[in-house]
A and B are shown apart, each in its own frame.
Chain A
């Protein structure tokens, strides 16, 4: 029993150490890749695959989250006579929490799985070794463009998700429950600060980077055979999902502390 716990702990620590080295190797090459024109042509296909191809999923997710949020809140707010404030509830939840987290989860499922499967297949068919033998660093050639694309596109996809959720919420409130559109929009605009949008998008940047790193790492280290690739894909999604939830909590606390610190100085400034 003790031996099993010890072995699992050692394995976990080893895996974390390997992931840290892999992440550092990737992150340290991002600035160079951003300025080196030769690497841009590696980025464009990733922008298309990760960004453009994810838009429909984000649109559907956003719309239905907005619809469900508004439908849930409608009766309770109506009972309290606060139905005109429905936009505050829907949009604040979307912008600060649900938008970034759900966009992150969808990205982990749609893009993360695909990245792991692609790189995992390349590993088991010796394509990663082929790159190394030709003097090309697979991390620079394969991982860096994918992680950059995830970092850049996660906030953009989150904005899509937020926007569509906002439209969904407005539809339920104004069209279905006949809440006047003008006060709905007025109170929403009053309640949501730029900081809320900023904190939500900051989270999505971090989620994007983590999804890219975890998915590529799992692909790079998958075991041989179809089963190995399948397991790596499952593991990439589950790990990304858990990491998103854990990071969300800590990011929330961090953003709150930052808000209090910055706004604490507001009267002085």
Chain B
């Protein structure tokens, strides 16, 4: 049972994003087993859970990259899982998405990558695009690297360029898929600071998928823990820290269970 707080922001009457009884399975493997989630505007929600538990699958449903087998995905009262392809393409421009591997286009420079969604939008001149690109790159502390190719950038710089691209169209929601994975602790903290900065300056709603606890305790307004296809925890970072749920505690302390050890012995 989720650990609900009576004063929790989920009690807001008009949620920005809602997942209602969402099921998703890949062949015989059930990944989401009746997930319910309601996110009010302006909140930073962090979804944690073990690797491969379905966190990325969950946020891919929110932007329509995956369709649920059953259930509803709602954004501002509109069903995302039922709208036409053209309407979905338009709606997606209200979201920014930071991919786990950054997903920068190899054939484009950093500047072209950041300017890509604006060019596709087709409403700005070349000069206006250049100015917006410089502004977004400045926001992530990388102005001046417009002409560099992704292969010339470090892992942390790639993430920041990808973040600049994600915010190029001033989205209402930013989805972060493992934003600090593969980065050293200092670079990871830079990304965490950026998430906080974007929340303050752009007033966006953020959904962060991670298993990095430093991100959880630094940026989260609310934490959810996904396990076996459903949330086993829903609360504030402090509630997470003090939770007496053994699975949550094991995740926080980073201790493998006896079952995990037995699994390891079995594999050997």
Chain A residues packing against B (C-beta within 8 Å): 38, 121-122, 125-127, 129-130, 132-137
The yes or no answer to B23 lying at the interface (CB within 8 A) is no
Query: Are A127 and B89 touching (Cβ within 8 A)?
Result: no
Contact indicator B99/A130 (Cβ below 8 Å)? yes
Cβ < 8 Å to A, chain B residues 237-257: none
Given contacts A126-B100, A127-B105, A129-B99, contact A134 B116 (CB under 8 A): yes
Q: Which chain B residues (30-78) contact chain A, with CB distance < 8 Å?
A: 60, 63, 65
- Shortest C-beta distance, A136 to chain B (Å), equals 5
Contact across chains for A135 and B89 when beta carbons are under 8 A apart: yes
Q: What would be 18 A-B contacts, judged by CB atoms less than 8 Å apart? A: A122-B106, A125-B101, A129-B60, A129-B65, A129-B99, A129-B103, A130-B103, A130-B105, A133-B65, A134-B93, A134-B120, A135-B92, A135-B93, A135-B121, A136-B89, A136-B117, A137-B85, A137-B89
Given A135-B117, A135-B120, also A130-B89 (CB < 8 A):
no
Residues of B203-228 at the interface with A, using a CB-CB cut-off of 8 Å, are none
Interface string of B135-162 (1 = CB under 8 A from A): 0000000000000000000000000000
Binding site for A on B (CB under 8 A): 60, 63, 65, 85, 89-90, 92-93, 95, 97, 99-101, 103-106, 116-117, 120-122, 165, 169
Identify the closest chain A residue to B88 (Cβ): A135
The answer to whether A125 and B92 have CB atoms under 8 Å apart is: no
The complex places the Cα of A238 from the Cα of B106 at a distance, in Å, of 27
List A contacts of B121 (CB < 8 A). 135
Q: How far is A132 from B60 in the complex, measured between Cα atoms in Å? A: 11
Q: How far is the CA of A136 from the CA of B85 in the complex (A)?
A: 11
Residues of the B chain whose Cβ atoms lie less than 8 Å from the Cβ of A125: 101, 103
Q: Which residue of B lies closest to A133 (CB)?
A: B97
Q: Chain A contacts of B117 at CB under 8 A?
A: 134-136
Tell me the bound Cα distance from A126 to B63 in angstroms. Answer: 14
What residues on B are CB-neighbors of A135 within 8 Å?
A: 89-90, 92-93, 117, 120-121
A39 to B99, CA, bound (A): 26
Are A132's CB and B120's CB within 8 A?
Answer: no
Query: 8 shortest A-B CB distances, which residue pairs?
Result: A130-B103, A126-B103, A135-B89, A134-B117, A133-B97, A135-B93, A126-B99, A135-B92
CB distance from A143 to the nearest CB of B (A): 15
Residues of B contacting A122 with CB < 8 Å? 105-106
Residues of A contacting B99 with CB < 8 Å? 126, 129-130
Assembly CA distance A121 to B101 (angstroms)? 12
Residues of A within 8 A of B97 (CB): 129-130, 133
Residues in B whose Cβ lies below 8 Å from that of A126: 99-101, 103
Residues of B within 8 A of A134 (CB): 92-93, 116-117, 120, 165, 169
Closest residue to A141 on the B side, CB-wise?
B120
B51 to nearest A CB, angstroms? Answer: 15
In the complex formed, the residue of A with least CB distance to B168 is A134
| Sample of 6 more A-B contacts, CB < 8 Å, known A130-B99, A135-B93, A136-B117 | A38-B122, A122-B105, A133-B65, A134-B93, A134-B165, A135-B90
Q: Which residues of B contact A38 (CB under 8 A)?
A: 122
Contacting residues, chain A, for B90 (C-beta < 8 A)? 135
B63 contact set on A, CB distance < 8 A: 133
Nearest CB in chain B to that of A125: its residue: B101
- For residue B122, which residues in chain A have a CB less than 8 angstroms away from its CB? 38
**A130 vs B96: C-alpha distance when bound (angstroms):** 10
B142, chain A: closest CB distance, angstroms:
18
A residues less than 8 Å from B92 (CB atoms) = 132-135
Q: How far is the CA of A136 from the CA of B60 in the complex (A)?
A: 16
With both chains docked as a complex, state the minimum distance between the C-beta of A146 and any C-beta of chain B, in angstroms: 13
Instruction: Give the complex CA separation of A129 and B65 in angstroms.
Output: 7
Query: How far, in whole Å, are A121 and B103 apart by their CA atoms in the complex?
Result: 11
Cα distance A175–B93 when bound, in Å? 66
Q: Which residues from A are CB-within-8-Å of B85? A: 137
A132: nearest residue on chain B (CB-CB)?
B65
* Chain A nearest CB, measured from B162 CB (Å): 8
* Distance in angstroms between the alpha carbons of A129 and B95 in the assembled complex: 13
| Nearest CB in chain B: distance from A197 CB, A | 37
List the A side residues contacting B169 at CB < 8 Å: 134
Across the interface, name the chain B residue whose C-beta is closest to A136: B120
**Complex Cα spacing A171 to B243, Å:** 86
Chain A residues near B89 (CB-CB < 8 A):
135-137
Which residues of chain A are near B103, meaning CB under 8 Å? Answer: 125-127, 129-130
